[in-house]
Structure 1
C-alpha cells in the first residue's frame, strides 16, 4: 500500500507521539539527509515546513531523537531564523512555522551542553526582539517566549516588554482563547525573570479599578484596598482604605443597571489570567502572599455584579466568579498551612 506525502504530513502534524516519531524517522532521509551538504539539507527541511508548517514543526521536534546530528540541527536553526527574519516569498503562516520549528529544535537541543554556545550565538544582536516582530500567531509568540531561558539565560528580561504587552492587552478582553498559549508562556517567562510583581500589580489594578466602577453603579461596598503602586516594594503590605458611608451596601438604585458586553469583558481577561496564575504553584505562592487581599476584595464585588447580570444574558463569561472561588480556596488553604506550622512550633 502506497501512502501519499499529504497523508503522511497530516498524520505527522496531528497523530500520536509514537506515530509522529516513526513518520519523522521515515522522512529524515528525504527532508534532512545526513549525506547531503548542510545547506541543501536545510533547504529540503524548510521546503517541508513551507508545505505544512504544523508537520514541519513536529518533524523538527523529533529530528534529534530519530537520528539527526545535533551539530547539523544547530545549522538548521541558523538557516531557519535567517529565513524568518527575511521572509521574502513566505506567508505569515510559513514564517511562524519556521519560528515554531526552531523552538522545537532548541528545546530538543537544550540538554546538549556542547552545542549551547553555538545555539546562543544564533540569537545575538537582539534577534529575539526582531523575530518577535515577525511572529504573528499565538503559537509563534509562545515559541519565542519558550526559547528565552535556553538562548538568553543571562538576560531573561529580553522580551519583558513584549510579555507585559500581551498580558495587559489580553486582560481587558474575554477572548483569551485567541492568545492563550502566548499568555501562559508570557506568565512563565515573567516569573522566571523575577519580575512577576509587575505582572501581578497590572492584573490586580485592572480588577480593582473595575470593581470600584461597578460598586459605584450598584451601590456595593467598594474594594477595601487602593490600587497597587508599581513602585511598591516586594512583600510590603497594601494599606486598607475604609469604604465611604455613601457607597456601602444598602444604597443601591432601585432601577436595575444592565451592563454591556464590553464592560463585562473588560474584567474577564484579567480574571482568567489570575485563575491560570493560581494553578501554577510557584506563582500562586507569590501572588497569595502579597496580592490576595486586594484581588479577593475586588473579585467579590465583580462576582456579585456578574451573578446579577446572569439574569440578563443568554451566556456570560464566568471567569471572575471562578477566579474568586479559586482565590478563596487557595487563601484558606494557606491559612490552614500557616496555622499548622504555628501549632507545630
Structure 2
C-alpha cells in the first residue's frame, strides 16, 4: 500500500508523538538529508514547512532524535529565523511555522552546550523583540516566549512588557482559548524572571475592583484589602477600589439588578488565569504567600453574584466560581500542611 505525502504530513502534524517520530524518521532522508550540502538540506526543510507549517514544525521536533547533527540544526534555526524576519513573501502561517519549528529545535538542543552558545550569540535582545512582533498566531507567540530561557538566560525580562500586555489584555475577556498558549508561556516566563508579583497584582486588582463594584450593586460585604506584603519589592501595591454610589444610581442594595454579559465576562479572563496559576506548584506557592486573602474575598463576592445571575443567561463563563473553589481548596491544604509541620517540630 502506497501512502501519499499529503496523508503522511497530515499524520505528522496531528498524530501521536510515537507516530510522528516514525514519520520523521521516514522523511529525514528527503527533507533534511545529511549527505547533501547544508544549504540544500535547509532549503528542503524550509520547503516542507512552507507546504505544511504544522507538519514541518513537528518534523523539527524530532529531527535531533532521528539523527540530524546539532551543528546542522543550529544553522537551520538561523536560516529559518532570518527568513521569518525578512519580507520574503511568506504568508503568516508559513512565518509562524518557521518560528514554531525553530522553538522546537531550540528545546531539543537545550542540553547541547556548544549549540546554545552559538544560539545565544545569534539572538540579541533586539532580535527577540522583533521576532515576537513578527509572530502572528497564539502558538507562534508562545514559541518565541519559550525560547527566552535558552537563548537569553541572563536577561529573562527581555520580553517582560510583551508578557504583561498578553496577561492584562486577556484578563478582561472570556476568550482565553484564542490566546491560551501564549498566556501560559507568559505566566511561566514572568515567574522565571522573578517578577511574578507584578502579574499577581494586576490580576488581583482586576478581581478586587470588580468585586467592589458588584458588592455595591448587590449590598454585599466588600472584599478585604490587606496591607501589601513587604515581599512585594518591585510591583505596585494592591489597590482598594470602593464601589461608587453612582454605579447603581445611588441604590446600594439593588438586588434585582441584572448585570450585562459584558460586565460578567470582564472578570472571566482574570479568574481563568488565576485558576491556571494555582495549577502550577511554584507559582501557586508564591501566590498563596501574599495574595490569597484579597483574591479569596474578591472571588467570594464575584461568585455570589455569578450564582444569582446564572438564572438570567443561557450560558455564562464560570471561571470565577472555579477559581474561588480552587483557591479555597489550596488555601485549606496549605493550612493543613503548616499545622502538620508545626506539630512535627514540637
Q: Classify the TM-score, shorter chain.
A: over 0.9
**Contact kept in structure 1, 2:277 and 2:284, CA below 8 Å:** yes
Q: CA deviation at 1:299?
A: 0.4
Paired residues of 1:174 and 1:317 also in contact (CA < 8 A): yes
Structure 1: gaps of 5 or more residues: none
Please tell me whether the aligned partners of residues 220 and 247 of structure 1 are also in contact (alpha carbons under 8 angstroms).
no
Instruction: Call closer, same or farther: CA 1:241–1:141 in 2, change over 3 Å.
Output: closer
Q: Could you give the per-residue CA deviations for residues 40-89 of structure 1, whole angstroms, max 9, x where no partner exists?
A: 11111011001000000000000010011110000000000000101421
Count of residue pairs brought into register by the alignment: 345
Superposed CA offset, 1:280-324 (max 9, x none): 011001101100000001001100100010110011110001100
Question: Residue 273 and residue 107 in structure 1: after superposition, are their counterparts in 2 closer, same or farther (change >3 A)?
Answer: same
How far, CA to CA, are the matches of 2:335 and 2:235 in structure 1? Answer: 17
Q: Counterparts of 2:243 and 2:216 in 1: how far apart (Å)?
A: 11
C-alpha distance in 1, partners of 2:302/2:49? 46
Contact 2:73 2:105 in 1 (8 A): yes
1:252 Cα shift? 5.7
Q: Deviations over 1:3-35 (max 9, x none)?
A: 111111001111121211111111111111112
Task: Give the whole-Å Cα distance in 2 for the aligned partners of 1:221 and 1:188.
Answer: 34
Which stretch shows the higher mean deviation, 122-131 or 254-263? 254-263
Deviation at 1:181, TM superposition (A): 0.7
Q: Would you say the 8 A contact 1:237–1:290 is kept in 2?
A: no
Greater than 2 Å deviation, 4+ residue runs: 226-255
Alpha-carbon distance between aligned partners in 2 of 1:237 and 1:168, rounded to the nearest angstrom: 16
Partner deviation per Cα, 1:134-176 (whole Å, 9 max, x = no partner): 1010100111111111000000001111100000000000000
1:208/1:249 CA distance change after superposition, 3 Å: farther
Deviation at 1:95, TM superposition (A): 0.4
Contact map agreement 2:215 2:222 (CA 8 A) in 1: yes
Q: Structure 2 vs 1, CA of residues 76 and 224 (structure 1 numbering), >3 Å: closer, same or farther?
A: same
Residues 221 and 247 in structure 1, CA contact (< 8 A), matched pair in contact too: no
Shift of 1:183: 0.5
Contact 1:214 1:301 in 2 (8 A): yes
Q: Which moved more, 1:116-125 or 1:100-109?
A: 116-125
Mark the CA change 1:45 to 1:235 in structure 2 (over 3 Å): closer, same or farther. closer
Answer yes or no: is the 8 Å Cα contact 2:13–2:20 preserved in 1. Answer: yes
| Cα distance in 2, alignment partners of residues 205 and 117 from structure 1 | 41
Q: Which runs of 5+ in 2 are unaligned?
A: none
Residue 20 (str. 1) matches residue 44 (str. 2)? no
Match runs of 1:207-286 below 5 Å: 207-225=207-225, 232-233=232-233, 253=253, 256-286=256-286
Shift in alpha-carbon separation, 1:243–1:69, aligned structure 2, 3 A: closer
Aligned-residue RMSD, C-alpha: 3.0
Q: CA deviation at 1:114?
A: 2.0
Task: Indicate conservation of the 8 Å contact 1:204/1:291, yes or no.
Answer: yes
Distance 1:82 1:236 in 2: 39
Change (3 A) 1:220 1:76: same
Q: Which moved more, 1:133-142 or 1:334-343?
A: 334-343
What TM-score, normalized to structure 1? 0.93
